[in-house]
Each structure stands twice: as structure tokens, then as C-alpha cells.
Structure 1
Amino acid sequence: MSEAARLMDAAIRLSLRGLGRTAPNPNVGCLVVRNGRIVARGWTQPGGRPHAEMMALEAAGAAARGAELYVSLEPCAHVSPRGPACADLIVASGVSAVHIAMRDPDPRTDGQGAARLGSAGVAVTLGTGEAAARQAMAGFLSRIALGRPRITLKLAMSIDGRVSMPGGESQWITGPEARAHAHLQRALADVIVIGRGTLEADDPSLDVRLPGLEDRSPRPAVLSATLDAIPASAKFADRDPLLLASVDDLCGLAVNDVLVEGGAATASTLLAADLIDRMLVYRAPVVIGDGAPGAGRIGLERLADAHGRWRLAETRALGNDRLEVYARTR
């Protein structure tokens, strides 16, 4: 890995600190580098402001003059009531070169930020680490390209594809390592969604129970066309929950990443509407037999229609369980 690639990789990893907290803005990471040494770091703050570039430049101070800047997304070119354009801040800082992982698809910037830097005499390189940057900002990019958040479906199931016993018992199919990983996924989401059936059967907390990450619990939501209101007695009722009457309500959320945790009816509805972009399948080494499946009918008429829709993106062992991550092929 070249030095430029290594530094950009560090900036992209830094951007993940904001994942699930910056919507509707993207989660961006930024480094200020002087003579090969990192002198300042920044990442997009909760609520989307300040931007990563502002945080890094303020931390660098006078050390930014003549330094190089590594940023995971093209600096914005538009002035907002919430803050100045990052391209202007960079020019004013005296930075000599800016390395950008990917162009910003937001039409308010989309090439204009890089052009403004170049016009001011700042050397600009574009494209280092683009694939990793796209992955880190997948939710934001989904909202720009598809007009909706990235939607991830989480399933914990047995070898034979069952998510509960015939009587409904489902705690716990997977072990502690898999459950901890699932809680980490909650911490990286803006909103966590369940269906009315799951609310009534399990009354889940839908929070993050990992030491040090308790404040990263996503906003809970219930998807139900028949629920008039979320009961005040629900375990998550104190966290300003959302009631979504339709998938249109879900798609219209001004967030980047949505995590869906069930149940089967909700999973089926979203799969049938082709709204699932990613699946996290936690598979436990148990056989349940006549239990409940993870999803019901999703509208496929032929087996051939099921092929080619999903790509295995990642696998890993989590204790005795195995995680399979599938990405929708579009």
C-alpha cells in the first residue's frame, strides 16, 4: 500500500466514527498531514455539522498552511445556514494539496468543490480509496441515488433457516459473540425497525447494550398499517419512536442507514418491494425443524427469478456462529 493509500485508508476509517449519527449529511473523515506526519484529525459530528474538514483544520491551526489534506469525500462547495463551504475553508487555511477519495454526488457540490480548490492553486488528486469510501458512505449514497436510506435486514437463524421455535421462542438462537456484533450494527444505524407482530410478541428494547456505546442506540420505529399508536408501555417509548404506516414512510425518512430486525412479515414486505440492500444472516449451529421461517412469501413465481439477486460479500466466525453478509445486486 502506498503512503497516500495508507493515509486515505486512515481517513476513511475515521469516517466510521460518525456512521449512524450524521444524517442527512454523509459521514466523512479527514486528516491534515505535514511532512508525512498526521497533525490533525476530524470527522463529521452528530447531526451533520461541523463537517470533518472544519474539525480537522481547526485542530491543525497554523500547521495546516503548506500541509496536505486527505478527505474521504469531495469538500462541499455550497454555503449552508449551518456552516461555510469546506472548499472555501480549505483555500483560506493555506493547505497546499488535497487528496479526495470520491467525488460528491450531491448536485450542490458534484465536482465544484474540487474545481474551486484547483482554481485557487491547491493541488487536487481524486480517486484514491474510492471503493472503501463508497462502502463507508453507502447509506448517504443510497439516499442520493435511490432517494431513500440504505436498508439492512438482520436475521438470526438456525442451520435449517428457522428464526424461532414453533411456539415462538427465539431467545437466544445465536451466542454472545453474534449478539454483540448485532448490537454493534445497531450502533451504526440511524433507525431500527420492527413490525407490529414483533412489538406485541417480544416488546424489545431495541437499544445498544455494549459498554461505552450505550448512547449510540438508534431511533426505534414500528412498521405497521394497523397500529394507531406505539404504546407508552413499550420498552423504547422514551426514545421518541416512529410509527411508519407504509414502506413509503420508511423510504421517506431523512436518514442514511436503517436496520430492520423483524419480524417475518416485515421482512417479507420489504423483500417483496425489493427494498433490502443488505442482509446480515447470523447462522447458529442448531437445527430447529418445524419452526418459523425468517420470511414468508415475497412474490417470486419461479426459482430462476431468485438467482443472481444476492452476492455474498463477507463471512466471518463469531464464536460458534457464522455471519454471512449479502449485498443486493442491482
Structure 2
Amino acid sequence: MTVHEAERRAMSRALELAARGPRGANPQVGAVILSPSGEILAEGWHHGAGTAHAEVDALSKLPGDAARGATAVVTLEPCNHTGRTGPCALALIDAGIARVIYALDDPGDVSGGGAERLRGAGVEVEAGEQADDARSLISDWLTAQRLGRPHITVKWAQSLDGRAAAADGTSQWITGPFARADVHRRRAAADAIIVGTGTMLADDPALTARDGDSPYDHQPVPVVIGSRETPADAAVRRHPHDVLFYETRDLHAVVADLHERGIQSAFVEGGPTLASAFISAGLADRVLAYVAPVLLGGDRLALTDVGVPTISAARRIVIDEWVPLGTDMLAIARLEDNEGVR
């Protein structure tokens, strides 16, 4: 089988439609139904958990047997299980769809297998059309599916000699405006931003993402970990999203709950204690270390105990990129023992 030009155009359109859907526990998926002559009959996308999947959303816009003999172009393999909604593979079969083009295989053990079911019912199936674009769109969701938790970035800023603050505890501003702007841009790309109660009480952060004085359209959900009370008048309580408070030191439990809430990517921006705890727990998939050309000395280290009792146990990192940001440098890295996790 080959993919025809009309089907390629339909996949490009399906990807545009998919991007309209919300990020969350379910992937962003788009679908286009084509007539045998290549004309668009209907379009659909997934509007969020509990709503019709993209294929069913598109089919619902067609009367009677209008889909019989048609082609469905979908950004993700039609699902093969019953959750809040029924299996999309069966819906396509029942509608009389004759051909299905999809971009990516569904990675789920339960939800996957739709292509096989379609073929078993005599439907022609072609996989892989514009797979790279589809993968880019839902890369965070795919990673979260593989890990069973959000993809976690641990960020800190430090002096050249590895300090997070001066001897008196002051830390604003170690890095310059270009580095700070880069942090806010990366915050805006994350689903959640995580700090500890120590940072909350010391700095009273708003935990918003801002472009200069203007907030980004997308704001990460604020997460605060720790047993100390956050003041009623704290800046974070004015955040556009409700704050998620976790009075626990069990980071695995925290990220499991975030996963259940549909959080696909998390940005850890707490102080040295929290950053070190995530690294020690094996929950740092990416490290962002902003290094400023200053010397501070003292004992306010950017990291504390990361479970290294001796030099032979050192946590080796792989630097993927050095990024100059004004006079500062950003190291984008991953831990060797998390190799393969991006």
C-alpha cells in the first residue's frame, strides 16, 4: 500500500486538529475522514478525558452510512480497549471504514492493538505517516507512558564554585537576565513546577512563567512539597491554578499522583535540598544547571547529599549541550544511570 497525496494532506490537518486538544492523562489526537475520492467528510479531535476520542468525534458528524467505504486518517493508532469510552477500532469497523492511515503506534499494553483488530476485520491499515511530527506533538505524553510518571527536569542556578547563595542566604540574582528569561520560557513549557516548603517560606515565589512583565499563556501547575504550612497570603496562592500541596517526603508517591492527574512534565525548582532529593531518588531525567561567572565561597552548596559516599560512587552526567546566556552558561545534562530517558 502507498499513502496518497490527499491522505498526506489529511494527516497534516489531523495534526493541526490534535494540537487543539488539552494536554493531560490522554494524548492529543486528531482525525480526518476522507471520501473514496479524497474529499474531507468530517474532522475531529480529542477534547479531554471522558470525551469522545478523535475518531469517534469525527464519525459523530456524519449521518447514517456516510462513512462506509471511507478512509480514516488518525495521528495515533485507534485504541482497542474500553475505558470511559469504547474502542475506537471497533467504532471505525462498525462505521464501515475501509482504510485507516495512522502516524504512531499506541504504546499502551491495554489500549494498543487497534491496528491488528482493524486488519482482522478486513480494513486496510497503513502506519507511520508523518510519525516524526506526531511524536513531536505528544513526546511528553509518550515519555510519561514509558516511565509511568512525568518527565522530570531538575533545575538550579549556581556560582562558578558551586554555591546557590551567599553566606547570608541571599541568592537573587546569581544569574543574569538572559538566564532568568530562559528559566521562565522552560517553566511555561512544563505542566507543573515543584518547590519545597523551604523555598516557599524563604523566597515567597509566585511560581508563574513570565515573559518580562507579561504572563505566558500556559502556566505550570504549582506544587509544594513539605510539612511546613504555606502562609495564607503567599504569592503562590494567587496563582491561576490551584496549588497542589504534598505533606510528605515520599517523592515517588508525589510523582505517581501527578501522573494520575495528567501531569506529563514537571520542572523542579526548589532549593538544594529538594533538587538533591530528586536526584537521590532517581527522579531526575534532565538537569539544567545555570552557571554564573561569580565566586561566593561558603557552605551554601547548590546540591547537598545525592547519595555519593565515595568518589567511585560519583553520579556521572552526560552533557547534551552548553548554552551561552549572556555572561552565564547553561549545562543541559542527564545522569548516566538514567541513560535513555529524555
Query: In which range does the TM-score fall when normalised by the shorter chain?
Result: 0.7 to 0.9
**What is the CA deviation profile of residues 219-246 of structure 1, one whole-angstrom value per residue up to 9, with x for unaligned ones?**
212111x32x432211122442122212
8 A contact 2:158–2:174 mirrored in 1: yes
Instruction: Compute the displacement of 1:29 (Å).
Output: 4.3
Instruction: Look up the match of 1:329.
Output: 339
Write the letter of the residue equivalent to 2:320: A
Q: 1:288 aligns with which of 289, 295, 305?
A: 295
8 A contact 1:22–1:47 mirrored in 2: no
Which whole-Å CA distance do the structure 1 matches of 2:319 and 2:19 have between them?
22
**Pair 1:276–1:132, CA change in 2 (3 A):** farther
Report the TM-score when normalising by structure 1.
0.75
Instruction: Look up the match of 1:279.
Output: 287
1:92-171 matches, cutoff 5 A: 92=95, 94=97, 96-101=99-104, 103-111=105-113, 113-127=114-128, 137=138, 139-171=140-172
Q: 1:268 aligns with which of 276, 281, 285?
A: 276
Which whole-Å CA distance do the structure 2 matches of 1:216 and 1:65 have between them?
41
Instruction: Look up the match of 1:217.
Output: 219
**What is the CA deviation profile of residues 19-40 of structure 1, one whole-angstrom value per residue up to 9, with x for unaligned ones?**
xx53222x33436496999998
SS at match of 2:287: strand
**What is the CA deviation profile of residues 55-87 of structure 1, one whole-angstrom value per residue up to 9, with x for unaligned ones?**
66679997997456251x322222333x44333
Report the TM-score when normalising by structure 2.
0.73
Number of positions where the alignment pairs a residue of Structure 1 with one of Structure 2: 318
Which whole-Å CA distance do the structure 2 matches of 1:305 and 1:231 have between them?
40
8 A contact 1:190–1:258 mirrored in 2: yes
SS at match of 2:30: strand
Instruction: Compute the displacement of 1:153 (Å).
Output: 0.8
8 A contact 1:193–1:260 mirrored in 2: yes
Instruction: Look up the match of 1:74.
Output: 77
1:172-321 matches, cutoff 5 A: 172-210=173-211, 214-224=216-226, 226-227=227-228, 229-238=229-238, 239-244=241-246, 245-246=248-249, 247-253=251-257, 254=260, 255-284=263-292, 286-290=293-297, 292-306=300-314, 309-321=316-328
Larger Rg: 2
Which whole-Å CA distance do the structure 1 matches of 2:189 and 2:255 have between them?
18
Write the letter of the residue equivalent to 1:197: G
Write the letter of the residue equivalent to 2:319: L
Tell me, which stretches of 5 or more residues in structure 2 are unaligned? none
Which whole-Å CA distance do the structure 2 matches of 1:213 and 1:36 have between them?
43
**Pair 1:77–1:164, CA change in 2 (3 A):** same
**Pair 1:78–1:263, CA change in 2 (3 A):** same
Which whole-Å CA distance do the structure 2 matches of 1:200 and 1:48 have between them?
38
Write the letter of the residue equivalent to 1:329: E
Which whole-Å CA distance do the structure 2 matches of 1:222 and 1:324 have between them?
25
SS at match of 1:216: coil
Write the letter of the residue equivalent to 1:179: R
Which whole-Å CA distance do the structure 2 matches of 1:64 and 1:189 have between them?
41
Aligned residues: percent identity? 36
Tell me, which stretches of 5 or more residues in structure 1 are unaligned? none
Instruction: Compute the displacement of 1:218 (Å).
Output: 2.0
Write the letter of the residue equivalent to 1:287: V
Q: Which moved more, 1:35-44 or 1:170-179?
A: 35-44
Which whole-Å CA distance do the structure 2 matches of 1:48 and 1:168 have between them?
48
8 A contact 1:98–1:124 mirrored in 2: yes
8 A contact 2:16–2:30 mirrored in 1: no
Which whole-Å CA distance do the structure 2 matches of 1:41 and 1:322 have between them?
46
Instruction: Compute the displacement of 1:206 (Å).
Output: 0.5
